[in-house]
Structure 1
Amino acid sequence: MDVVVAGQLARDLVLLVDEVPEAGTSADARLRREMLGGKGANQAVALAQLGARPVLIAVRGDDRVGEELIEQARRDGIDVRYVACRESVPTGLIVEALDASGEWRYLQHLPEDVLLTEEDVDAAAPALRAADAVLVQLQQPGPAALAAARYGREGGALVVLDGELPARERDRLIALADVIRADEREASSLGAVSGPLIMIATSDGNVVRWKDGEEFIPLTDEKVVDTTGAGDALTAALTVGLLRGMSPIEAGHFAVAAAGATVGHVGGRPDLSGFKGFVAR
């Protein structure tokens, strides 16, 4: 199955501390991890680990960091031919400060220059039209997100939107979507949407709604170390499950299990190789 992801690529830097220090003080990090990250790249990694053939549409800078991330993405089995390289621009950076209780704080440098444009998406139109599914991160500018969804719909792909719907493109995106995935805050942009399958993350589980019903799926019982990346693993697994012909309930359980398999380690990079998941019966 060919799945195209339009979203963010960045270097993730994770620092594990006992406590986040107060202003004017410092703290030692017990662990430091640097990795390929950003929501787009994380979802592409998860898709590859679940057996899909992911293509990533994203933006990097022309620095050494960008080159290193591209090489890692290739090793992960991601097609990066549509990752645009911006001249004289640093690759995006996301810093996560994670404390011993699993609470995180992000500092990120994702300026406009490392966000997708319509032109970036247009360049990837052949891949989008040929895909079995298109995943669109709504943290990217609305026009670029809309273009990716539109090309996917033209090719008959399963169109999956992830995040908060931008006000200007909201109605047009909903009309193109088969699936919308959001957390409770992001779901405020949905209103009374009907039609697409909708999966909303809550504090104690996920609600799956589709035209014929609704199901609440509780969280798994894995010990939570870091929730970063759980939503990306969930979205990737939900997509793969639906492409494999699972029902909404089955795909929802499969997705929640993938998220549970991600929260047990530090950082947002998925670790789903060999993951079998759980399918409701």
Structure 2
Amino acid sequence: MDAKVVVVGSLNMDLVARATRLPRGGETLAGDSFFTVPGGKGANQAVAVARLGGSVAMIGNVGDDAYGQQLRQALQVEGVDCQAVSVCDGVSSGVALIVVDASSQNAIVIIPGGNGLLSAEAVQRFDALLQAAEIVICQLEVPLETVGWTLARARELGKTVILNPAPASEPLPAQWFAHIDYLTPNESEAEALTGLPVTDQDSARRAAEQLLKLGAGKVIVTLGAQGALFVSANGSQHFPAPHVEPLDTTAAGDTFIGGFAAGLSQGMGEGEAIAFGQRAAALSVTRAGAQPSIPYARELQS
């Protein structure tokens, strides 16, 4: 069966340390626990689509190491089509070094490894997957030239294009916006893309309206505990977040994106798909780790 959703992006092994607080510069801090868990924004989003009822394929790279084998296997176990997850000889797989504090905030350092070698040519080799898809999702943990090529190709093919601009530290290339149906930044990413401060619904709306002016089709600003703001040419709508006690926010944004895409691929309207993604993300933050925290659709049935 052809995958309705194709995720083009990163696969990382997350090396997670928990401590009472984040260390200061130059400080050695005793931690509470350590574990490794499959992650990477692309792989997380693919797993979220699969667990939340969507049919999904992943296009990405791993290294020729034990982490690469584990990352690929973690996707296969979830039913993700991995024919386009390629092994790069002589390099490590992507790694994320994550410290999580007692209040569930995190600090992350990413080593790209094989993710940095995902070229436009590599994606083009699997063009049949893009052609068969309904929805194409990208993030920013692989080379920007590759992201730009994929957005343009997906638009050329008439697909629904979702860009999760994470991690964003500067404005996007101007030519990208016309290719994007749904741009999904969080507060800090919306601020980085526009230069406007984003602290609440009103400031998020202003930033989103700026992104619409730049050419994005529609914008969903995720606001954590404040919910999500959906902004289009027809106006804006706020979606309050379910109230939960957070344990670990890692992969909450990825879970939302996967849930939103899974919802769209199953015929939900935009609002229903946003609410579905929010419920999935809310459940994910009550659990530790990236992919292990992502819920299954059956867990969201009330």
TM beyond 0.5:
yes
8 Å CA contact 2:16–2:35 kept in 1: the answer is yes
Specify the SS of the correspondent of 1:81.
strand
* Structure 2 gap ranges (5+): 195-209
Identify the match of residue 26 of structure 1 among 24, 29, 51. Answer: 29
CA distance change for structure 1 residues 244 and 10 in 2, over 3 Å: closer, same or farther? same
* Structure 1 gap ranges (5+): none
**Equivalent-residue separation in structure 1 for 2:176 and 2:169 (angstroms):** 9
Counterparts of residues 161-172 of structure 1 (less than 5 Å)? 161-163=163-165, 170-172=173-175
The farther-off stretch of 170-179 and 48-57 is 170-179
**Equivalent-residue separation in structure 1 for 2:83 and 2:295 (angstroms):** 24
CA distance change for structure 1 residues 248 and 24 in 2, over 3 Å: closer, same or farther? closer
CA distance change for structure 1 residues 166 and 15 in 2, over 3 Å: closer, same or farther? closer
1:221 Cα offset (Å): 0.6
1:174 Cα offset (Å): 1.5
**Equivalent-residue separation in structure 2 for 1:77 and 1:38 (angstroms):** 17
1:220 has 2:222 as partner: no
* TM score, norm. by length of structure 1: 0.89
Specify the SS of the correspondent of 1:80.
strand
1:207 has 2:229 as partner: yes
Q: Report how many aligned residue pairs link the two structures.
A: 277
1:275 has 2:299 as partner: yes
More helix by share: 2
**Equivalent-residue separation in structure 2 for 1:192 and 1:151 (angstroms):** 21
Specify the SS of the correspondent of 2:79.
coil
Counterparts of residues 178-197 of structure 1 (less than 5 Å)? 178-188=181-191, 189=193, 191-194=210-213, 196-197=217-218
Counterparts of residues 1-281 of structure 1 (less than 5 Å)? 2-21=4-23, 23-29=26-32, 31-111=33-113, 114-163=116-165, 170-188=173-191, 189=193, 191-194=210-213, 196-203=217-224, 204-269=226-291, 270-273=293-296, 274-276=298-300
1:245 Cα offset (Å): 3.1
Q: Deviations over 1:176-225 (max 9, x none)?
A: 11111111222242534155121002252211112322111122111111
Specify the SS of the correspondent of 1:58.
strand
- Structure 1 vs Structure 2: percent identity of aligned residues? 29
8 Å CA contact 1:122–1:147 kept in 2: the answer is no
The farther-off stretch of 261-270 and 225-234 is 261-270
8 Å CA contact 1:135–1:161 kept in 2: the answer is yes
**Equivalent-residue separation in structure 2 for 1:192 and 1:168 (angstroms):** 10
* TM score, norm. by length of structure 2: 0.84
CA distance change for structure 1 residues 61 and 218 in 2, over 3 Å: closer, same or farther? same
1:232 Cα offset (Å): 0.4
Q: Deviations over 1:56-97 (max 9, x none)?
A: 111111112211221222112111111122111011111211
Q: Which amino acid aligns with 1:180?
A: L
